[in-house]
Structure 1
């Protein structure tokens, strides 16, 4: 049911878009463009709503696909970054103001894709609060599920927390790899005893 809600909102928001070329921008720097290349080596604009993984493996809001006219208007208004009105914990959901000239002035980005877009401030406020709490709840539940699985596998609290946060996989926590340890041909094994 949840995915249906997301898909409905995403398809509704895309209807407000113009048909102009879309470009991929960073929320923190409008001048940056991302492109993907196909098998022929030609540059291809990513599909609308394409995910861009954040460093921690979750999907942040740092890269979005916008109409070129929106980006040009924002830069003409003196913006170098998307004006962010609100951002949830962990940056999973954010609310941006694209300015008065944009069709669909307010934009909600969630997990690296455009979730909703509208001209109504009242409407976008309600949708943003609901979406931010949904995503936060999902992230907390995912953390707790991973934490429970790690504890059930016999890890201590610290290792289980690292697994739940995605710093280390459960398999690696249970079976630490030893290939990366330095070995020498001589009797000197002090390198193996260094704890980092």
Structure 2
């Protein structure tokens, strides 16, 4: 299905991956704080393999996890986008929205800004009817982004991640959902009755 389309926001560029992204990507994947809610940090070899899988996702699905660049500086800060989870769960099949940004990019609203653009692509351009997101229960930072982009959480949807052993601190996950109807309601400006009319 080809390479990643290029998406823009007021401050960010969501673009295809470049060879030069791999070194800063490996650095963020090796940062224990960035990877706190993942099972482990990644070696350079593991990080490069993940970048390969991400690029393959665009070829297979036509969408994926875009490399995110700050437009003003050209700095690569991580990824944001859409993926297809491969593990069995009660909400499958699904398309997930996710993000992983370098620690120096935290606190600027970049994850929310990029995620909103990825959602628009998923619903408008890909015709998706629902997009989900999930994370370890304790990942308050990502859960706050999920709330800000309009996703909703039902505790009945929470699940134990099948790729993690029982008793692992990250075993329990929360699931957030957003369907196309709610997304349109959240992003469509309200009609202004009588705007510009004379009494």
TM-score (norm 2): 0.26
Q: Which has the larger radius of gyration?
A: 1
Q: Which structure is higher in helix share?
A: 1
TM-score (norm 1): 0.26
